[in-house]
Amino acid sequence: MEEKSYKEYLKNITTFVFDIDGVLTDGNVIVTTKGRLLRRMNIKDGYALKTAVDSGFNVCIISGGSNEGVRTRLRGLGVTNIYLGISDKTEQLEEFFDIYDINPENVLYMGDDIPDLYVMQKVGLPCCPQDAAPEIKAISKYVSHRNGGKGAARDVIEQVMKVQGKWVQNSNAKFD
């Protein structure tokens, strides 16, 4: 049986799940003299996340990290399902599915490293940034041409929304 192209999955996606470090950030942290960890997030990824939320997609963030500044940023984009400090991403994802009655086949998950390996195998469309670990690339049905924190999330959200006729090109859209 011939494997489907990733593009065949796009029309059925209802839910986006993203890791943070290495996906929504470039994976680097700046450590301040007081020991705080600072991350950079891509504004274009932010626009795409907000557009997806505003268009009715489920958007979920599951991360082993626990930076409250990241939570504040994501909430400002309208994301409400933000799970930080998660050691078992598979368990958290299954709980999320149960709460919202989500079919795993309709889920796009973007991860980049070994903590995402098993959870990505639970969804219909596992994806990763260009600079993901080789093990993650091997199980991904789509590898973005963008690196983590450099538009990889925007890439997959925009592709899904364009296929579904939901990508709104409105230069007057407001977001922060």
pLDDT band with cut points at 50, 70 and 90 for residue 1 = low
- Secondary structure string (H, E, C) spanning the chain: CCCCCCHHHHCCCCEEEECCCCCCECCCCEECCCCCEECCECHHHHHHHHHHHHCCCEEEEECCCCCHHHHHHHHHCCCCEEECCCCCHHHHHHHHHHHHCCCHHHEEEECCCHHHHHHHCCCCEEEECCCCCHHHHHHCCEECCCCCCCCHHHHHHHHHHHHCCCCCCCCCCCCC
Kindly report, residue by residue over 101-135, the tens digit of the pLDDT. 999 999 999 999 999 999 999 999 999 999 999 99
CA dist 97 and 102 (Å) reads 5
User: What is the per-residue pLDDT for 29?
Assistant: 87
Average pLDDT, the chain: 93
pLDDT band with cut points at 50, 70 and 90 for residue 67 = confident
For residue 62, pLDDT over 90 is answered with: yes
What is the separation of C-alpha 161 from the centre of its chain, rounded to a whole number of angstroms? Answer: 14
Q: What tokens appear for 120 in the block?
A: 């990505």
Task: Find out if CATH 3.10.450.50 is the number for domain 9-163.
Answer: no
